[in-house]
Amino acid sequence: MKKIVLASRNRKKARELQEILNGLPYEIVTLEAFPDCPEVIEDGETFEANSAKKAAEVSAFTGLWAVADDSGIAVDALGGEPGVYSARYGDKETDEERNEHLLENLQGVPDDERTGRFVCCASLYGEGKLLYQVTETVEGRILHAERGEGGFGYDPLFLPDGFEVTTAEMTPEQKHQISHRGKALRKVKEFLESLEPHE
């Protein structure tokens, strides 16, 4: 069975990717199987550039097809920030510190202006080329305080449109159904399923 490697060292993200891609006729492995794989420098100005770069470099190192995603949150009242810098927003080290930093920057912004979206670009790279790329979003708004213990990143602050619970209060299955990453990875999965089976 052909192997596909997930180009992420974030264990929570890798687990989400595995859950969403579950059921494919491929063996899905993580970067834990390749401890010597160098860290990819995410210096692109778009989610698409970073996603493609991660997939390309991990594919080149491992010799396998690689799936990478680059994702983040874009807040309208902050001109789209933190965007591609979501994972290192304000040079903070932890999710909690980044969430706190976001809330500080949104102080005084009323509910109806706290709109934003999660963005995910997923890329599949193999055979020396970009095989497939897709970008998906989920709209919502940023709360004034964290709610929920699930998920990671900005999930405790994000209330998706049409829901009364944050993405951190959802079960993994509920979150995958509506999330930016869930929508993008399902399209990657559909693309892989459309290919001829690989031994």
Residue 118 contacts residue 135 (beta carbons within 8 Å): no
Sheet of 129-142: strand order equals 27-30, 3-6, 65-75, 115-126, 129-142, 158-160
**Annotation says 91 is catalytic:** no
Residue 125 contacts residue 66 (beta carbons within 8 Å): yes
Residue with token string 């951190």: 168
**Which candidate, 10, 24, 117, 116, places its Cα nearest to that of 68?**
10
Structure tokens, 36: 């010597």
Give the three-class secondary structure for 65.
strand
Give the three-class secondary structure for 172.
helix
Catalytic residue (one of 70, 91, 155, 161): 70
Give the three-class secondary structure for 66.
strand
Alpha carbon distance, N-terminus to C-terminus of the chain: 5
Catalytic residues: 70
